[in-house]
């Protein structure tokens, strides 16, 4: 930690002059009153006129710094806590082997009660000591691939993840767990579903919606569910494993191509759209829900197709939408556009000219619906029929985000437009369902 | 038992927790209310003990987690949102609650901090869905005076109230989250209180100051005190969640008795020469001894296939049955531990045997089975073998602590003022910053605004009421303790009704109507005020007040005029009254002739019986006098 992290301006200079560092015991006198406590770091986002002190009671307070009035003195160094981790449980021989690949987002962590900082638990022994149950489920190998916020991940990172998973599978593991920030976990799951074909073992993406430093975090159970699935699930597909409801009872495994983050903060944010979850973790066991799935088979040979074309855009149509946005993408050399149209798959007639031009210029234009649930039907209304004639490709019941990832992937596989269209239309990882089934409340269970 | 508290070095500190009457909760827009109906929905959670930076984990919490403890939360959309469910980050700290805390701070000379930092205090018993309680220091220092003695205040905190426990069966604990997030002010005194009575008075005085703000919630459970008690050579015991003020002095008294008795037991054990190493983990299955027992508890347990285990406590004979405070013995303390750590239903010990259907012969066999002599005590319990062993290990631990004196514990109050074991005292409070809530600077302008409108201190208010409205001390105190002080002042300003009548009505009359089952809580301030305005305008007499109030309580939304009319209490016109008075004089002609002008008394009585509630007594008296003169003058 930086020695005066967060302190700026005059106050910082005053602290420096006294030779004070964060963690020092200090005295702050102002207007006839003295505060004593340990100097704590200050958030960069706050003003530069308050000193944060940890009092003997453990509480923090902010003390105003008034130049010329406030007298700060260093009293000594506060006693530093010494971390003595308890001996981690020893993992049992003969358990399945699971690799945990960390990409950012902390699924397991330890709080520094002194500074309030959260330290991610990364190493296998860290993980065992924070979530001891893991040692009963699998022998874990863990490593950090990336340390990025999930909104900073790019298609390049998807390729990197796919290659890393392939290497692990090459190394003979029984399953792979990827810890991931939740914001774009659905996109990564879709990308890996297309990039990792003929999977022999399961690949589980997992995250946490409520920070892992809190005793109530969903992280531990999500991780236990994910490692159990990686170790023992009968399926060999890419899935997202997260809480099914608000309760700490079940983890739902959603197919990577059919999953969407549908809530900003709640544990049940991830939902399977237009299908049921593939499987559940309940009371220590994996239960399959869908019957049609690729079975685990360690002998199967993985096919890695890890290239993605970044010049593809997801464009949401709305009242007042300016068709020049489409022209701009064409002019910038984009190779594909996924439209998020209204209802059954429409955009306004005033966009037709720009859409037509995009297709003529060689772009692939695909149509999805902003309704989230349901299927695109472009032959019902005249507008839809016109768009089909212009060469727009309907994406059935595919999620807009999945369609975006799939088009990036398809264009990453080939320079040939026709071949890319063929790949786009082909059902590769259950991204299309042949039937639209009844799902009350969009399948959001309570 | 009489105790010299000063000589014992008694030191008591109080933490008074009072719910604030804000329009919404501390970190969300939910109303600060409880719901009484069935839960609208429930959810199940497990709270995982997290490691501190020191690698330490709260042992009691870890134990409960490993046992599979789960919490079923009961919720309602009326009182709870995703914040209480820990499904959404908290909103900003409720400024209304901060203002109330600042008001209290300025009233008792506490120094507000320049910037408030919200902290997370780890609490994983289930009472907080997050696993921590959000809390912050608002002001430091200050003082209250109780009978001339200065009681220093350490700090004033603002925190969120916890969920309330509604049940427990096995490892499943039920909590209702309606109370979670209601703002709570916490005032901690220095540990300078030196007697049980003083503790009660300090709690009372702080409670009155809080009520003087007019911004606190009322009713059972809205104020709770934690009491920290220690004596010289004893230990610091924290008694949590005392709801009745009347219990405070009793709890302190019994706790001192308990600690004194435990120190005597320690001395006795030392005299007997009992050493720690002699307390051995030898848990012996003695089910055979009780195969044909008449003890109901053991018999039904054995029938279910459970076992009976015994533990010998060398040279403890006579000490387990020794009373610590009324109804609580060292044996009770051991049973508390056994129930918590072993989840058994209880235990028996040889100081209370033979008894409970256990015969002298069984006791003799028990002693010989564990090799115990007359000077030893034997503890038995029944249940699954693992639970028996866990329970007896906890008993052994408690016995070892008896060698040292008083174990440091967190205890909970019993209704009779004694206490029971809750858990070991947690180590240093594990607090870390709540990063979801930004720090709040307290500006001089804000403090100035609050300072300029500070409520009176209870003592000032009391003397002003006595002076200004000529109330006696008792009535003035009752008013201050009631919900109606502001209403009282406004009625006295707006009417000419005697203040003492207003005060009696708003305190004693309402209280006694309430006792008779009248729903006085439905009477709002405006309705009450209208009654006095009607009285002031001569539309009714003061004797009718109780009847009018009862009627209004049963007819919400009605006016005083409706009540007077429905009850037939409209005042008679003077001519009507004059006719009634003259009629009564004629009816009692013989009496009038015999008594002359002294017949006023009996005649008054006769008239008042007829016109009860419909005429003012002064008017009746003057009419009776006039009629008598007229009649006699004939
Ligand atoms: Zn709420």
Q: Does the distance separating the beta carbons of B137 and A59 come in below 8 Å? A: yes
Of residues B424 and A446, the one with the higher pLDDT is B424
Which structure tokens are listed for B43? 């959810």
- Whether A261 sits among the annotated catalytic residues: the reply is yes
pLDDT at B628: 86
- Which chain A residue has its CA at the smallest distance from B436's CA? A211
**Interface mutation vs chain B, best among A43, A59, A107, A116, most B CBs within 10 Å:** A59
- Which chain A residue has its CA at the smallest distance from B82's CA? A266
Distance, CA of B429 to CA of B135 (rounded, Å): 12
pLDDT at A446: 41
- Asked whether B550 and B513 are in contact (CB, 8 A), the reply is yes
Alpha-carbon dihedral angle through residues B267, B271, B273, B279, given to the nearest 10 degrees: -40
Domain ranges of chain B: 5-236, 274-406, 458-566, 574-632
pLDDT at A111: 65
- Considering Cα of A368, then A352, then A316, then A364, what sign does the dihedral take? positive
pLDDT at A116: 61
CA distance B130 to chain A (A): 5
Kind and range of the H or E element at B411? strand B409-413
pLDDT at B634: 55
CA distance B179 to chain A (A): 18
Q: What is the mean pLDDT of chain B?
A: 92
Which structure tokens are listed for A150? 């999930």
State how beta strands B132-140 and A50-54 pair.
unpaired
Q: Is B175 on the interface with A (CB under 8 A)?
A: no
Of residues B634 and A48, the one with the higher pLDDT is A48
For the stretch B185-195, pLDDT in tens is 999 999 999 99
List B residues 41-100 in contact with A (Cβ-Cβ < 8 A). Answer: 41, 43-55, 57, 70, 82, 85-89
For the stretch B299-358, pLDDT in tens is 999 999 999 999 999 999 999 999 999 999 999 999 999 998 998 999 999 999 999 999
- Whether A436 sits among the annotated catalytic residues: the reply is no
Q: Does the distance separating the beta carbons of B54 and A446 come in below 8 Å? A: no
List B residues 399-438 in contact with A (Cβ-Cβ < 8 A). Answer: 428-433, 435, 438
* Residues in Cβ contact with B196 at an 8 Å cutoff, skipping those fewer than 6 apart: B5, B248, B249, B250, B251, B252, B253, B256
Lowest mean pLDDT among A75-89, A276-290, B151-165, B202-216: A75-89
Q: Is pLDDT above 90 for B590? A: no
Distance, CA of B588 to CA of B581 (rounded, Å): 11
What's the whole-number mean pLDDT along residues B571-577?
84
What's the whole-number mean pLDDT along residues B151-167?
97
The ipTM assigned to this model is 0.93
What's the whole-number mean pLDDT along residues A23-48?
91
Per-residue pLDDT band at A443 (split at 50, 70, 90): very low
**Interface mutation vs chain A, best among B13, B89, B115, most A CBs within 10 Å:** B115
**Interface mutation vs chain A, best among B180, B435, B439, most A CBs within 10 Å:** B439
- Whether A103 sits among the annotated catalytic residues: the reply is no
For the stretch A218-235, pLDDT in tens is 999 999 999 999 999 999
Per-residue pLDDT band at A1 (split at 50, 70, 90): low
Exposed, middle or buried by CB within 10 Å (0-12, 13-18, 19+), for A243?
Answer: buried
Of residues A300 and A441, the one with the higher pLDDT is A300
Per-residue pLDDT band at A442 (split at 50, 70, 90): very low
Q: Does the distance separating the beta carbons of B130 and A63 come in below 8 Å? A: no
Q: Is pLDDT above 90 for B459? A: no
Task: For residue B47, report the phi and psi dihedrals to the nearest 5 degrees.
Answer: -100, 125
What's the whole-number mean pLDDT along residues B448-467?
92
Per-residue pLDDT band at A444 (split at 50, 70, 90): very low
- Whether A183 sits among the annotated catalytic residues: the reply is yes
pLDDT at B602: 87
State the pTM of this model: 0.86
Q: Is pLDDT above 80 for A238? A: yes
Q: Is B132 on the interface with A (CB under 8 A)?
A: yes
For the stretch A373-382, pLDDT in tens is 999 999 999 9
Q: Does the distance separating the beta carbons of B50 and A110 come in below 8 Å? A: yes
Which structure tokens are listed for B505? 């009505």
CA distance A167 to chain B (A): 34
pLDDT at A127: 78
Chain B contacts of A264, Cβ < 8 Å? 88
Chain B contacts of A210, Cβ < 8 Å? 86-87
Q: Does the distance separating the beta carbons of B157 and A50 come in below 8 Å? A: no
Number of residue pairs across A and B with CB atoms under 8 Å? 141
Ligand 1 center to residue B183 CA distance, Å? Answer: 12
Give the side-chain half-sphere CA count within 13 A for B441: 12
Of residues A446 and B404, the one with the higher pLDDT is B404
Show the domains of chain A with their CATH numbers.
9-77 (2.30.30.520), 97-304 (3.40.50.1170), 312-425 (3.40.50.40)
Ligand 1 center to residue B42 CA distance, Å? Answer: 15
Report the share of chain A in percent with pLDDT over 90. Answer: 78
pLDDT at A5: 85
Chain A contacts of B82, Cβ < 8 Å? 265-266
Q: Is pLDDT above 90 for A83? A: no
Q: Does the distance separating the beta carbons of B136 and A81 come in below 8 Å? A: no
What's the whole-number mean pLDDT along residues A104-126?
68
pLDDT at B354: 93
Q: Is B172 on the interface with A (CB under 8 A)?
A: no
Which structure tokens are listed for A339? 């439209």
pLDDT at A445: 47
Q: Is pLDDT above 90 for B64? A: no
B274-406 adopts what CATH topology? Gyrase A; domain 2 (3.30.1360)
Q: Is pLDDT above 70 for B554? A: yes
Ligand 1 center to residue B75 CA distance, Å? Answer: 11
What's the whole-number mean pLDDT along residues A183-210?
97
Distance, CA of B606 to CA of B595 (rounded, Å): 15
- Asked whether A51 and A72 are in contact (CB, 8 A), the reply is yes
- Asked whether B432 and B120 are in contact (CB, 8 A), the reply is yes
For the stretch B612-626, pLDDT in tens is 778 888 888 888 888
Instruction: Choose, from A54, A174, A179, A182, the residue flagged as catalytic.
Output: A182
Q: Does the distance separating the beta carbons of B119 and A58 come in below 8 Å? A: yes
Distance, CA of A46 to CA of A44 (rounded, Å): 6
Q: Is pLDDT above 80 for B591? A: yes
- Which chain A residue has its CA at the smallest distance from B433's CA? A116
**Interface mutation vs chain A, best among B433, B440, B441, most A CBs within 10 Å:** B433
SS3 of residue B310 by DSSP: strand
What's the whole-number mean pLDDT along residues B227-251?
94
Per-residue pLDDT band at B435 (split at 50, 70, 90): confident
Of residues B586 and B406, the one with the higher pLDDT is B406
Q: Is pLDDT above 90 for B361? A: yes
Instruction: Choose, from A54, A258, A261, A406, the residue flagged as catalytic.
Output: A261
């Amino acid at each position: 930690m930086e020695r005066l992290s967060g302190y700026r301006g005059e106050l910082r200079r005053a602290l420096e002059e006294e030779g004070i560092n964060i963690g020092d015991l200090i005295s702050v006198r102002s207007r006839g009153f003295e505060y004593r406590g340990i100097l704590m770091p200050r958030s960069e986002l706050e003003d530069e006129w308050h000193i944060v002190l940890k009092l003997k009671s453990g509480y923090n307070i902010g003390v105003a710094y008034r130049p010329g009035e406030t007298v700060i003195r260093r009293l000594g160094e506060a006693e530093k806590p010494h971390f003595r981790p308890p001996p981690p449980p020893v993992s049992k021989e003969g358990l399945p082997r699971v690799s945990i690949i960390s990409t950012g987002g902390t699924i397991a962590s330890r709080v520094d009660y002194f500074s309030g900082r959260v330290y991610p638990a990364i190493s296998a022994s860290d993980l065992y000591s924070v979530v001891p149950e893991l040692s009963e489920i699998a022998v874990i190998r863990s490593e950090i691939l990336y340390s990025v916020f999930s909104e900073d991940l790019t298609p390049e990172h998807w390729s990197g993840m796919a290659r890393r998973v392939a290497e692990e599978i090459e190394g003979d593991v029984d399953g792979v767990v990827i810890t991931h920030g939740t914001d774009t976990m659905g996109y990564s799951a879709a990308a890996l579903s297309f990039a990792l074909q003929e999977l022999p073992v399961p690949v589980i993406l997992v995250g946490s919606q409520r920070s892992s430093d809190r005793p109530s975090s969903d992280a531990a159970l999500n991780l236990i569910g994910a490692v159990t699935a990686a170790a023992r699930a009968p399926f060999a597909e890419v899935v997202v494993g997260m809480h099914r409801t608000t309760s700490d009872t079940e983890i739902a495994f959603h197919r990577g191509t059919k999953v969407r983050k549908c809530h900003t903060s709640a544990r049940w944010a991830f939902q399977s759209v237009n299908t049921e979850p593939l499987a559940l973790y309940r009371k220590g066991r994996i239960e399959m829900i869908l019957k049609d799935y690729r079975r685990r088979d360690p002998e199967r040979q993985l096919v890695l197709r890890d290239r993605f074309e970044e010049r593809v855009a997801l464009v949401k149509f709305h009242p007042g939408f300016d068709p020049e946005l489409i022209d701009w993408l064409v002019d910038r050399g984009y190779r594909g556009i996924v439209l998020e149209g209204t209802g059954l798959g429409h955009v306004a007639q005033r966009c037709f000219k720009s859409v037509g031009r995009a297709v003529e210029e060689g772009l692939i234009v695909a149509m999805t619906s902003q309704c989230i649930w349901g299927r695109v039907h472009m032959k019902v209304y005249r507008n839809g029929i016109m768009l089909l004639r212009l060469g727009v490709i309907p994406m059935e019941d595919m999620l807009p985000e999945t369609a975006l990832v799939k088009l990036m992937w398809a264009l990453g596989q080939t320079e040939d437009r026709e071949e890319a269209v063929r790949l786009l239309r082909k059902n590769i990882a259950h991204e299309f369902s042949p039937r639209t089934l009844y799902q009350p409340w969009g399948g959001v269970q309570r | 038992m009489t105790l010299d508290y000063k000589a014992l070095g008694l030191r008591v500190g109080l933490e008074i927790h009072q719910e604030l009457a804000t329009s919404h909760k501390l970190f969300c827009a939910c109303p600060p209310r409880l719901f009484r109906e069935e839960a609208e929905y429930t959810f199940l959670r497990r709270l995982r003990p997290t490691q501190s930076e020191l690698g330490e984990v709260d042992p009691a919490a870890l134990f409960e987690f490993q046992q599979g403890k789960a919490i079923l939360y009961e919720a309602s959309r009326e009182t709870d949102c995703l914040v209480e469910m820990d499904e959404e980050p908290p909103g900003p700290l409720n400024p209304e609650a901060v203002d109330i805390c600042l008001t209290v701070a300025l009233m008792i000379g506490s120094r507000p901090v320049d910037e408030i930092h919200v902290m997370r205090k780890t609490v994983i018993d289930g009472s907080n869905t997050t696993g921590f309680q959000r809390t912050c220091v608002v002001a430091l220092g200050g003082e209250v005076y109780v009978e001339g003695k200065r009681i220093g205040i350490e700090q004033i905190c603002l925190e969120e109230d916890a969920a309330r426990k509604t049940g427990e069966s096995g490892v499943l604990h039920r909590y209702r989250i309606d109370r979670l997030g209601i703002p709570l002010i916490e005032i901690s005194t220095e540990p300078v209180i030196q007697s049980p009575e003083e503790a009660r008075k300090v709690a009372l005085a702080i409670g009155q100051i809080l009520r003087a703000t007019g911004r606190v919630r009322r009713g059972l459970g809205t104020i709770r005190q934690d009491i920290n008690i220690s004596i010289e050579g004893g230990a610091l015991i924290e008694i949590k969640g005392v709801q009745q003020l009347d219990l405070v002095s009793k709890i302190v008294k019994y706790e001192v008795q308990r600690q004194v008795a435990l120190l005597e037991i320690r001395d006795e054990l030392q005299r007997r020469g009992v050493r720690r190493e002699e307390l051995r983990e030898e848990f012996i299955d003695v089910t055979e001894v009780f195969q044909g027992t008449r003890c109901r508890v053991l018999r039904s347990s054995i029938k279910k296939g459970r076992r009976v285990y015994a533990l010998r406590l060398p040279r403890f004979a006579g000490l387990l049955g020794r009373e610590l405070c009324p109804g609580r013995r060292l044996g009770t303390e051991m049973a508390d531990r056994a129930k918590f750590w072993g989840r058994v239903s209880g235990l028996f010990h040889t100081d209370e045997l033979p008894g409970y259907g256990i015969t002298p012969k069984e006791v003799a066999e028990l002693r010989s089975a564990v090799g115990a002599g007359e000077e030893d005590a034997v503890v038995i319990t029944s249940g699954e073998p693992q639970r028996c062993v866990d329970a007896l290990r906890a008993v052994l631990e408690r016995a070892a602590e008896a060698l040292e004196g008083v174990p440091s514990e967190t205890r909970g109050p019993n209704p009779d003022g004694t206490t029971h074991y809750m858990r070991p005292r947690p180590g240093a409070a594990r607090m870390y910053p709540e990063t979801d809530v930004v720090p709040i600077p307290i500006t001089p302008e804000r403090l100035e605004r609050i300072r300029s409108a500070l409520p009176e201190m209870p003592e000032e208010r009391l003397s002003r009421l006595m002076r200004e409205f000529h109330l006696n001390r008792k009535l003035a105190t009752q008013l201050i303790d009631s919900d109606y002080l502001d209403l009282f002042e406004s009625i006295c300003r707006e009417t000419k009704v005697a203040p003492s009548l207003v005060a009696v009505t708003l305190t004693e009359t309402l209280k006694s109507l309430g006792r008779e089952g009248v729903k006085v809580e439905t009477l709002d301030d405006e309705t009450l005020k209208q009654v006095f305005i009607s009285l002031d305008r001569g539309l009714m007499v003061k004797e009718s007040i109780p009847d009018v109030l009862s009627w209004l309580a049963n007819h919400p939304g009605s006016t005083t005029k409706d009540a007077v009319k429905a009850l037939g209490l409209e005042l008679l016109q003077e001519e009507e009254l004059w006719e009634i008075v003259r009629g009564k004089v004629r009816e009692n002609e013989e009496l009038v002739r015999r008594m002359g002008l002294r017949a006023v008394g009996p005649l008054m009585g006769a008239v008042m019986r007829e016109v009860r509630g419909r005429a003012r007594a002064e008017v009746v008296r003057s009419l009776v006098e006039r009629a008598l003169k007229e009649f006699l003058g004939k």
